Amino acid sequence: MAETLLQRHDATPTQVQVQTKGFTQLSGPVDNGDIVADVVFVHGLGGHPKDTWTYGSEERRSSNQKLDKDEPTRSRSFRRLLWSKGTKDKEDIAKHPESLVSTCFWPMDLLSRDFKNVRVLTYGYDSHVSHFCKDAVNQVTISQHGRTLLERLIDERQDCIERPLIFVAHSLGGLLVKDAIIESRKHSPQTVARMVFQRCHAIMFFGTPHLGSGLADWGVLLSNIVEALGIGFSTYKGVLRQLAPDSEKLESLTREFNEILNAPIPVDQKIKIYSFQEGKGISASKLLDGKVVPDHSSWFNRRDLERNISISENHKNMCKFKGDNDAGYKAFSNGLRMYLSEILHSKETQTTRPGVEQDETQLKDVFINLATSCDQHFRIHLLVDALDACDEGQLADVLSLFHDDRGASACTIKIAFTSRPSYLIAKALTGTFKLVLEYGNKQDIAKMVGAGLRFFSKPHGGIFEWCTNYLTDHAQGVFSRIFIVIGNLTGWDTGPCTKAELMKLVQDFPLELIDYHKPITEQLAKHDPMMKIEARKTLDWVTYAERPLTAGQIWDTIASMTWLPDIWIKLGRGDEVAKLFKQRRLL
């Protein structure tokens, strides 16, 4: 499957009209089942869902023309200084005159061809800097943009909430992504909103500021980014003053996102980070000294889950790739290919069989949704078995579920609980119908005891009646207990024994089911000493395996006991055990 994913798709990508607000799907398989992941592009402050990611002088010129029309003369001079006076640009145009009209919107032109099993989305929002000002009519904070991104992403992924997510963000767009992830994490497990956080596999940041040692540092970073956008000298200081109050939120954003990265879970379950850093400053600007976002701020310095690379472009152009041979695109596509391979490998190793690992919250939600969505003609019958096996906390949780008031049910629901006698359960279910099987089964158990101990009836008349009455009274309605006791009494009628010895044997037999299993295993080990060693080795397999073993794999371990060395039954040698497992290809 991985090889299929990495094949190039040579068909010419279909042109798509990119919406300035909300999501636009740029490419993706027709069959949703073939999609490995959603790749979501998010532009930054003053950016555009297409232009931010488009290389080409035609786009640059049209952008300048628009700004020339809207901005004061002084700002136009700054723009010309920023983009028209660069010696490198003139040299490129002289060598490649065709570049004057060629453009490359690489998320659609290149990714749709190179990654055919990926759905590519670009997200747009009103990112004009003036709208972030506190005095503006339509003032929107970075946090509000982050929440809107989360809400729209939930709507976009209603039919594929389990699909892995990879974000690609430029500049302050990375802060929106982090804020959306943080907000998603605050929701209850297994809710649709939380799935954005749970299914986020990686984030690829282009020049996003992550680190500031204080509000002053954030102010400098914001001023650099605003200046790089070419807003103009007349509005620059005012915009910066209005952005400054959001610095406290930016500090909080950094702290909360680091908490996610530092969560005590295995590294392979954490969000992966790829940080692209600008390799050049905007030297033409007199206000900017070097890079817009300094290197120490544009990465997390996390060798366990982060990769970083410098792109030989300035902050604005670092995410504009001219084609296949662009060094930046090669680095990006290699990183994306790595993350998609990880996702595919994770799918191959996941076990999807239902079992004890199934999420309890999800099961509860299924029950509540089923109960509240069915009409009055629908009937639901539930059997909740072994309620007494829960501890007090689990018991309270289960019983509270059936008193949930999230919605009234119009249908008929009948629930049957099975449990040994319990005061807590009886109290919680006060007023419900009860059937005590301990009493209902008593006659049947007495018949089974009489049939099993019939060999006592003649030679040991007195003991027969006593054993029958004792076992019937102490069975607690459980037939399996009687089978085990009778099995242990078999043979006593043929040997010399007293009534007192028989009574002691019966009375000493444990009443808890878990205690019945111990003598059984001890008996097996007594008859076959090798069984104890094989059982220990089998437990080693189950303990050291990197994933749950199937019944067939456990059978293989038992069948292969002849070659296993003695090291397997010793404690504290997990490295040797794992090595042998890998040699046998059972991990």
The runs of H, that is alpha helices, within 134-246 are 142-156, 173-185, 195-198, 215-228, 233-243
Q: Could you give the 3-state DSSP secondary structure of residue 202?
A: strand
Closest CA to 294 of 346, 187, 217, 369: 217
Q: How many CA atoms does the CB half-sphere of 339 hold within 13 Å?
A: 31
Give the C-alpha separation, 125 to 167, whole Å: 16
In sequence order, the 6+-apart residues with CB closer than 8 A to the CB of 46 are 127, 128, 129, 226, 229, 231
Task: Classify 181 in phi/psi space as left (phi over 0), alpha (psi -120 to 50) or beta.
Answer: alpha
Distance in angstroms (rounded) separating the CA atoms of residues 400 and 402: 5
Helix count and strand count (H, E) for the chain: 25, 11
Report the pLDDT value the prediction gives residue 9, as an integer from 0 to 100: 47
β-bridge pairing 118-124 and 22-27: antiparallel
Report the CATH architecture of 2-56+103-349.
Answer: 3-Layer(aba) Sandwich (3.40)
Closest alpha carbon to 33 in 115, 117, 107: 117
Residue 25: its H or E element: strand 22-27
The pair of structure tokens assigned to 215 is 């509000």
Tokens of 413: 């629901």
Helix (H, G, I), strand (E, B) or coil at 310: strand
Q: With residue 343 as reference, give the H or E element that holds it.
A: helix 327-349
Pairing of strands 200-206, 104-105: unpaired
CB-based contact 206:274 (threshold 8 Å): no
Please report the pLDDT score of residue 126 as a whole number. 83
Residue 203: C-alpha distances to residues 169, 235, 324 (Å):
8, 33, 22
Interatomic CA distance for residues 351 and 14, integer angstroms: 38
> Distance between CA 565 and CA 561 in Å, rounded?
9
Q: Are the C-beta atoms of 154 and 196 separated by less than 8 Å?
A: yes
Strand bridging mode 54-55 / 104-105:
antiparallel
Whether the CB-CB separation of 450 and 416 falls below 8 Å is answered with: no
Q: What is the pLDDT of residue 231?
A: 52
* pTM (two decimals): 0.53
Domain residue ranges in the chain: 2-56+103-349, 360-434, 439-518, 528-583
What one-character DSSP code corresponds to residue 416? Answer: E
Greatest CA separation for the chain:
119
Residue from 26, 25, 27, 66 nearest 46 by CA: 66
Contact 106, 321 (CB under 8 A): yes
Contact 117, 36 (CB under 8 A): yes
- Please list, in sequence order, all residues whose beta carbon lies within 8 angstroms of the beta carbon of residue 345, skipping any fewer than 6 positions away: 2
Tokens of residue 366, six digits: 């299924």
Give phi and psi for 272, each to the nearest 5: -85, 150
Contact in structure between 49 and 41 (CB atoms under 8 Å): yes
Give the gyration radius of the chain's Cα atoms: 35
Q: How far is CA 551 from CA 1, 213, 497, 538, in A?
A: 27, 55, 44, 12
CB 23 within 8 Å of CB 206: no
Strand partners, 120: 27, 39
| Per-position pLDDT tens, the chain of length 587 | 443 344 444 445 567 889 999 999 999 888 888 899 999 999 988 889 999 999 984 444 444 444 333 333 333 333 333 333 344 554 555 555 544 447 899 999 999 999 989 999 999 998 766 555 444 444 457 778 889 999 999 999 988 988 999 999 998 899 999 999 999 998 887 788 999 999 999 999 999 988 754 445 556 666 667 666 665 444 444 444 444 445 566 778 888 998 899 888 888 889 999 999 998 887 654 444 578 888 888 889 888 899 999 999 988 899 999 999 999 999 999 999 999 999 988 876 664 444 444 556 667 777 777 777 676 677 888 888 877 777 766 777 777 776 655 556 667 888 888 877 777 777 777 777 777 766 667 778 788 877 777 666 555 557 777 777 787 777 766 776 677 677 666 656 555 566 777 777 777 766 666 666 676 677 767 777 777 777 777 888 888 787 788 877 877 777 666 544 554 444 455 555 556 555 544 44
Q: Which of 130, 140, 145, 218 is nearest to 176 (CA)?
A: 145
Q: Kindly give, in sequence order, each residue whose CB lies less than 8 Å from that of residue 347, ignoring residues fewer than 6 positions away.
A: none
Query: Are 455 and 441 in contact, with CB atoms under 8 Å apart?
Result: no
